[in-house]
Structure 1
Amino acid sequence: MSQNQSAVRFRWGARVWAGLAAAAAVAVALVVTAVTLASGPPPGADGGPSDGGAAAGRRKAGLTAAVSAPFSAFTEGYDCYRIPALTPTKDGGLLALAEARTSGCDDIGDIDLVMKRSSDNGRTWSPMEVVRGAGDPGAYGNPTPVVDSTSGRVSLLYAYSTWAPDAAGNRVRGPRELRLAHSTDNGAHWTAEPNPQPQLKGEDWAWVSVGPGHGIQLTPTRPDRPGRLVVGADYRTEADESGAQLLYSDDGGLTWKAGARWGAPAGTPAPNEPALTQLPDGRIYVNARSTATCGTADHRVAALVDDAAAPAFPAPGFAPVGGLPAPPASASLLQVPGGPLLLSAPSRPGAEYSDRWTLAVRSSPDGGRTWSQEGGVVLRDRAGYSDMAALPGGQVGMLYETANGTPHGYIKFTAFGPPELQAAAEDLTPRHTTDATPYRNHAVVHGAPKLGNRPGGGKAMRFDGKDDFLRLIDCPDELRVGEGDFAVSAWVKYKTRGQDRDSGLLQPLVWGYGQGQGAKQFRVEADPATGGLTGTIDAGSGPVSVATRGRTDDDAWHHVVFQRQGARLGISVDGGPATTTVLAPQQRDFRPQGAFTIHLGTQPDHKAFYAGALDDVRIYGRSLSGNDAARLRDGSEVTDQERVHLTFDGIW
């Protein structure tokens, strides 16, 4: 154990955790994080669009969002900074490493590895140093440092590839390899040679990477030997097997070997971007991003292994982690000596990269078998990857990605201890409203929409036009409508506000799939300029729209049906004649090919919100006849090929 680890054990140990154990004896029924003493306050407060769906009233002040910002977009010669890594050094300092991208935030481009040092626990940072990539157009990625506590040597494993044009002239990666650098003076200087590590890449591998985040040093097994160094890696073979592998060093980082490996056949969920830590019982716990995105709420998988040098992870290998809502993103693990296992990741559920919101620190009291529904929120806005490390003095430091309106670009630093984490703990459980179809595609509720009544109907959902909205997530196949006929029906009630008329923005009632030029999508919006409703589809060749006749913004209930019947796209209100247009062949198929979300009350970029009410929202995989629409207006059921039916009977 290093001196730094010993200090953290004292701070997070007897005093804090004895008190928590006593509280747990009184309230055994509470399933809460090991750093909290109670659940959140009773419902009643408001929630915002970045609240990850957490129940209104369970929000707290959160952890300190930023102590400093080591790397800021469009500064120091780079457009974007991504993939943070944080590690303490033997002299008590901190190293912050990242990818520096010269042109935008895209993964394709000139990427360097940069570093800053701090001697005051992250409050200030040294001038930036380019560790790898200066003057080289190649891609240097995923800096993964690990420190040998005996010698102080910092080993830095990273990935490297060149670029080459494909047949269409687009830039693509060349062969990718792992490389190694060392520093013997706490990051002040680094070895200059490329030092490739071919033994860490299988002969049949088409892809290899390492990290993200820092590696770990295991507890020494002999007093005359340093503890084994371990980092995580992922790979993909030429046969499309994907998986995770541990890399290890028994000589303080001078040489590295490939260890335990676990792979999944093509087309099955596999671990990606593994984070790892050593549990108090000595085993290595690995929690990874899953390659499964659609059709599942489990976007993380985990495994345990006793020996990093073993040829394989023991059965069952990597299994889905339930009860841990998270979008596809890298996470960070930290086993607090004498305390809980911590995980930092975006906590908003969803299958898309754009779901990287609400960065939170959650905990497990039992080595990753279960995870608390509570956590301390670092940032309610968009945030991506993070890396946590134990700081000298007993706190936890964190580097994480964020920016304005996107999860990536800036890398900020914050720190917290047990009192701050305890005070910030709040329930992160997403709220839902029920889908009455057998598909059970329940909508996630954001903000604080109110339930009201619709005369002659049941409950209705009222949106405030500021931050209330719903999402249908996890991109189930039954909601990939758009190859043939489809229909969207709903009851709507709204009144055009002056601010909406002045802004000129259409208010989104239902928005399916993507946004922007070339994105496949469908949407129903209220047009403040005309006072009517507009239905639009886009198969990627440009939008095609139809608009209702007359006004619907009279603060009265209207029933709208937007649909495609054969080659015709149409929209009608209250059973009146439909406004239609003929679709060209290239305009008809707007099915999304990848992950998608369906929004109600907002659009994917959250720059426009609906002020009004919705009820009885349905999506069909066919068109509706006039008789079908009349039955819906009369309150009768029409269930043939019904894919979603939101009744708004309650929020749970």
Structure 2
Amino acid sequence: MAWAATAALGLCTAGWLTLAPSPSGSAGRDGGGPAKAKKATGLTAAVSAPFSAFTEGYDCYRIPTLVTTKDGTLLAIAEARTASCNDIGDIDIVLKRSTDEGRTWGPMQVIRGTGDPGAYGNPVPVVDSASGRLTLLHAYSTWTPDTDGNRVRGPRELRLAHSTDDGASWTTDPAPQPQLKGADWAWVSVGPGHGIQLTPTRPDRPGRLVVSADYRTESGESGAQLLYSDDGGLTWKPGARWGAPEGTPAPNEPALTQLPDGRIYVNARSTATCGTPDHRIAAIVEDAAAPAVPDPGFRPVTDLPAPPAAGSVLQLPGGPLLLSAPSRPGAEFSDRWTLAVRTSKDEGRTWSKDGAVVLRERAGYSDMTVLPGGRVGLLYETANGTPHGYVKFTAFGPHELQAATEDLTPRRTTDATPFHHHAVVHGAPRLGNRPDGGKAMRFDGKDDFLRLVDCPDQLRIGDGDFAVATWVKYKTRGQDRDSGLRQPLFWAYGQGPAARQLRIEADPATGRLEATVNAGTGPASVTAPTRTDDDAWHHVVLQRRGTRLELSVDGAPPATTGLAPDHMDFRPTGAFTVHLGTQPDYKAFYAGALDDVRVYGRALSANDTARLRAGNDLTDQLRVHLPFDRVW
């Protein structure tokens, strides 16, 4: 059923733009209402899988794009990466065609890259409805290994390819398009996602073709630029541009669509990651050929939980504006989970808190198109344990989107400091009563955990003194002894022998807590002097005082170890997350309770820790405080 045709059923502007929350009241693990209720079913996760990792001569497929040709053929286009999923390397552009709206796909075609070890990437197709011609803008760069074996990207340029037979064959122009790259640009790319054709302004002229691009100058300015063609895609010119200096939110990987009034809506991934929950940025352009994006230019899209990732926007004829993107909050690439489709009823100024989940597991980039029958096709990245590698396809109509709608608002528990670093709640940890009054957070050891997201500076511990204090209550289970897995209580930053990190774990072999720090030079650990796995409450303090790492339990003399100079600074250099109840790879979970979790930017005295054990507050240099009084 076409979207415009649903108006008679009251599902177009009256229903689609005011989607009601799902009766379940929960989005499951990564979204959710106040409690873990029955999960909404979501949309069909996959109708087909056009590209699968480690098949057809390639290890990894990324950067999917989807387009419907004039004659109704569906084209799935992606980067095909050899040897690894690395962004730099031998990368081809591949295509599969479907004549049954994505249920089955024809054989794979290599559009660019055969016999060339260079990197062809960011394919952006756009269709000229007058001639049927397909234009594929894409990027190209060489690469070389350095003395350490790392891949170094060479100069990057834009190129063109064309098809006049619905993508069955392609003519390619190996020459770069220098007019599309500024003289001082250190980086240029297009998309990801398909381009658009604007509504014709004159009956004797086809609509203008428009593609999005992004760039970075030698001086550090980043931004977006529209590229346009007025001759059906044969030649291209640079159009409206907007940039921002380094350190200021700027658009990256922009997606675009035409609004009903003819203007162009551009929604992009933001270069801002840490210290903000706003990871998408948007602008409206009236004239793609203008020299600049009009004021106010690109502005953060607020109240839209999303990690840094490319998304897709699609204005449906007679229907809502759609956005597909991962919906899990966070600033890291590893936060690309829970791909969902949201709607906007005010031309993208705000987005619904409700949406339809496509996949609750890891998922990355996506692209949408209107299928010949009027449904929406969606092509997206996913894999086992990573957001990338496979490219899958699904489709949905208005009734399916309506039925799958649920509340995507992340559940949180309060940070009582003025910084308001409220922790995101995953799974269904319970607030239980403590015998001495108050509440505590109880974790089931299966899929319950909390995250402190968006890498605030207050939690970026450097080489100075700090303290982590919390109440713990747990009992070593038989299954923990059998598996030998340590239970992570508190884990800040990265994971692995060379990753900067700070963690507290319960060791099932000894029944004791162990704390570890790593400045990227190897771990330094300290083990609590007494057992804590007796199912009783214990107050635990991990801190660094000068060059000593200390771990104390219930106010007793701490276990200590000295830190060498190269073990002192484990401050993360990029985006980070603090996990409670799990570790970054989610392969171990804590079964027990936590209460009154605090992080200080200083060491605590014996008097300080006594005050905390007695239930008194201590706010001097308090960076985060989770009292676990409610989940909201």
Q: TM-score, normalised by structure 2?
A: 0.98
SS of residue matched to 1:644: strand
Does residue 1:521 correspond to 2:504, yes or no? no
**Which residue matches 2:230?**
250
User: 1:13 touches 1:337 (CA, 8 Å); kept in 2?
Assistant: no
User: 2:223 touches 2:250 (CA, 8 Å); kept in 1?
Assistant: yes
**Which residue matches 1:180?**
160
Does residue 1:14 correspond to 2:12, yes or no? no
Question: Is 436-445 or 407-416 further displaced after alignment?
Answer: 436-445
1:168 offset after TM fit, Å? 5.7
> What per-residue deviation string (whole Å, max 9, x for no partner) do you get for residues 617-642 of structure 1?
00111111111111100011111111
**Which residue matches 2:96?**
116
**Which residue matches 1:3?**
none
Aligned residue type for 2:550: G
> What per-residue deviation string (whole Å, max 9, x for no partner) do you get for residues 501-521 of structure 1?
111111011100001121100
Does residue 1:348 correspond to 2:328, yes or no? yes
> What per-residue deviation string (whole Å, max 9, x for no partner) do you get for residues 493-545 of structure 1?
01111111111111011100001121100001111111111111011111111
Provide the rounded CA distance (Å) in 2 between the counterparts of 1:340 and 1:145: 23
Aligned residue type for 1:645: H
Provide the rounded CA distance (Å) in 2 between the counterparts of 1:631 and 1:459: 19
> What per-residue deviation string (whole Å, max 9, x for no partner) do you get for residues 353-390 of structure 1?
00000000000011101110000000000000000000
**Which residue matches 1:601?**
581
Kindly report which structure 2 residues correspond to 1:327-406, keeping only aligned pairs within 5 A, or say none: 327-406=307-386
Kindly report which structure 2 residues correspond to 1:569-588, keeping only aligned pairs within 5 A, or say none: 569-588=549-568
User: 1:508 touches 1:603 (CA, 8 Å); kept in 2?
Assistant: yes
Change (3 A) 1:16 1:411: farther
Aligned residue type for 1:327: P
1:57 offset after TM fit, Å? 2.8
Aligned residue type for 2:86: D
Aligned residue type for 1:629: T
User: 2:24 touches 2:40 (CA, 8 Å); kept in 1?
Assistant: no
1:169 offset after TM fit, Å? 5.8
1:550 offset after TM fit, Å? 2.5
Q: Which residue of 123, 130, 136 maps to 1:143?
A: 123
User: 2:32 touches 2:407 (CA, 8 Å); kept in 1?
Assistant: no
1:323 offset after TM fit, Å? 1.4
**Which residue matches 1:324?**
304
User: 2:341 touches 2:356 (CA, 8 Å); kept in 1?
Assistant: yes
Provide the rounded CA distance (Å) in 1 between the counterparts of 2:252 and 2:430: 40
**Which residue matches 1:467?**
447
**Which residue matches 2:539?**
559
User: 2:24 touches 2:406 (CA, 8 Å); kept in 1?
Assistant: no
Provide the rounded CA distance (Å) in 2 between the counterparts of 1:414 and 1:9: 17
Provide the rounded CA distance (Å) in 2 between the counterparts of 1:9 and 1:34: 12
1:103 offset after TM fit, Å? 1.7
Q: Which residue of 458, 469, 473 maps to 1:478?
A: 458
SS of residue matched to 1:34: helix
Does residue 1:47 correspond to 2:28, yes or no? yes
**Which residue matches 1:544?**
524
Provide the rounded CA distance (Å) in 2 between the counterparts of 1:40 and 1:549: 50
**Which residue matches 1:27?**
none
> What per-residue deviation string (whole Å, max 9, x for no partner) do you get for residues 26-67 of structure 1?
xxxxxxx6162x222265x7933x558986337410000000
Aligned residue type for 1:520: R
Kindly report which structure 2 residues correspond to 1:113-262, keeping only aligned pairs within 5 A, or say none: 113-166=93-146, 170-262=150-242
SS of residue matched to 1:400: strand
SS of residue matched to 1:586: helix
When the two chains are superposed, the root-mean-square deviation of aligned CA atoms in Å is 1.5
Q: Which residue of 1, 6, 17 maps to 1:34?
A: 17
Provide the rounded CA distance (Å) in 2 between the counterparts of 1:96 and 1:635: 60
Provide the rounded CA distance (Å) in 1 between the counterparts of 2:596 and 2:155: 53
Provide the rounded CA distance (Å) in 2 between the counterparts of 1:602 and 1:530: 19
1:485 offset after TM fit, Å? 1.2
Aligned residue type for 2:9: R
**Which residue matches 2:428?**
448
Does residue 1:76 correspond to 2:56, yes or no? yes
Provide the rounded CA distance (Å) in 1 between the counterparts of 2:540 and 2:233: 66
Question: Is 190-199 or 484-493 further displaced after alignment?
Answer: 190-199
1:16 offset after TM fit, Å? 4.2
Aligned residue pairs, count: 632
Provide the rounded CA distance (Å) in 2 between the counterparts of 1:124 and 1:337: 26
For structure 1, the residue ranges without an aligned partner over 5 or more in a row are: 1-6, 24-32
Q: Which residue of 271, 276, 279 maps to 2:256?
A: 276
Provide the rounded CA distance (Å) in 2 between the counterparts of 1:290 and 1:356: 15
1:9 offset after TM fit, Å? 4.6
Q: Which residue of 69, 93, 104 maps to 2:84?
A: 104
Provide the rounded CA distance (Å) in 2 between the counterparts of 1:386 and 1:348: 15
Q: Which residue of 308, 313, 330 maps to 2:288?
A: 308
1:115 offset after TM fit, Å? 0.6
User: 1:457 touches 1:635 (CA, 8 Å); kept in 2?
Assistant: no
User: 1:402 touches 1:408 (CA, 8 Å); kept in 2?
Assistant: yes
> What per-residue deviation string (whole Å, max 9, x for no partner) do you get for residues 584-631 of structure 1?
111111110110000001101111010100000001111111111111
> What per-residue deviation string (whole Å, max 9, x for no partner) do you get for residues 453-473 of structure 1?
223242100011111110001
Change (3 A) 1:464 1:354: same
Q: TM-score, normalised by structure 1?
A: 0.95
Provide the rounded CA distance (Å) in 1 between the counterparts of 2:32 and 2:106: 35
Aligned residue type for 2:28: G
User: 2:3 touches 2:398 (CA, 8 Å); kept in 1?
Assistant: no
Question: Is 165-174 or 563-572 further displaced after alignment?
Answer: 165-174
SS of residue matched to 2:28: coil
Change (3 A) 1:52 1:484: farther
User: 1:73 touches 1:80 (CA, 8 Å); kept in 2?
Assistant: yes
Q: Which residue of 292, 298, 310 maps to 2:272?
A: 292
Change (3 A) 1:532 1:209: same
